[in-house]
Chains A and B, each alone.
Chain A
Amino acid sequence: MSDATMDRTFAEPAEADAFSGIPPGKLGMWWFLASEIMIFGGLIACFILFRAAHGGWRAESADVHWRIGAFNTLVLLTSSLTMVLAWEAVKTNRPERVGRFLGLTVVLGLTFLGVKGYEYSREFGAGFTPFSGLFWAFYFTMTGLHALHVFAGIVVNSILWTRAARGRLEGIQHRIEYAGLYWHFVDVVWIFLFPLIYLS
């Protein structure tokens, strides 16, 4: 692919939308996040209602590993820091700095998924599957859907990292901001999933 084609592919409309005064890319990302709020919020609302209706699922929730969940929370919180620093670094126009923080975000995202995979393997090993009851069906659905979102974020951040590592920020500056919005949203979802599943 020629450089001109690549630049066109990554070109970002910088002008704000005439109606809202907000750049279309950012507006689109927030609309997307609103739809994601409905998806995760609907699941979380159902979980809360069913949990209250079934006496709190105290015995079932005793089998999840809160220490692993706490570690993963720390990992995601730290990845949010590296992601926001990548965006701040964009403003300094230092591709190597942007690349470093995006790379760290990708590594932390992979760590999260690795730990989640280890946790799943322990749970499957103990005989807990999505068919082991309503609590476990909710558990695997919510954490699995969240893990898919983390994976999607890793893919997007890896693409941006590759561009930044090549020393080219032209055309992707705002994409890093929008990828950051998505990544922080995934972090916020986990901030609620962690106490809901592991600590309640």
Chain B
Amino acid sequence: MDTVAENWLTARARDVRIWRWLVILLAVGLMVFMLPIPRVAIVALIFGVAVVKAVLVVRDYMHLKAEHLFIYVIAFVPVLILLGLLLALIPDIALRR
């Protein structure tokens, strides 16, 4: 078998393995949704699972793990701005009584 064919088989196996994890995490999220536990705990758990799924897609399918540092800056600065916006507005909107 030549190198190109070997590389293809290796990449396919890796990508299918990531997909299996994504499906397992989807199933985990759905199981947590049905658990008889407090809603706050359910929301925290399913968002934790969603973050792990997103990291898998961004890291392995978008190949961010092999990218230049500048791409990380482009991708994460908007996320940080949004988190800052969310945290700054929580007292005024979400906690308003």
Contacts and interface: CB of A to CB of B under 8 A. Distances in A.
Interface of A: 20-22, 26-27, 30-31, 33-35, 37-38, 41-42, 45, 48-50, 52-53, 56, 66, 70, 73-74, 77-78, 80-81, 83-85, 88-89, 91-93, 180-181, 184-185, 187-188, 191-192, 194-195, 199-200
Nearest to B89: A49
A185 B82 contact: no
Contact of A37 (B7, B79, B86): B79
Nearest to B33: A199
B5 interface: yes
Interface string B33-63: 1000001001100110110011001101110
B54 A191 contact: yes
Contacts of A56: 39
A191 B53 contact: yes
Contacts of A66: 30, 33
A173 B34 CA distance: 44
Chain A binding surface, main DSSP class? helix
A53 B96 CA distance: 7
Interface residues of B, number: 48
Given A50-B93, A77-B23, A88-B15, A199 B86 contact: no
B16 A22 contact: no
A37 B54 CA distance: 13
Contacts of B33: 66, 199
A30 B74 CA distance: 7
Contacts of A92: 4-5, 7-8
A92 B89 CA distance: 50
Given A49-B89, A91-B4, A92-B5, A42 B75 contact: no
Contacts of B18: 81
A45 B81 CA distance: 11
B12 interface: yes
27 contacts: A27-B71, A30-B74, A34-B74, A34-B77, A35-B78, A37-B75, A38-B78, A45-B82, A48-B94, A49-B93, A52-B94, A66-B30, A74-B23, A77-B53, A80-B61, A81-B19, A81-B61, A85-B11, A88-B11, A88-B12, A92-B4, A181-B62, A188-B57, A188-B58, A195-B46, A195-B47, A199-B42
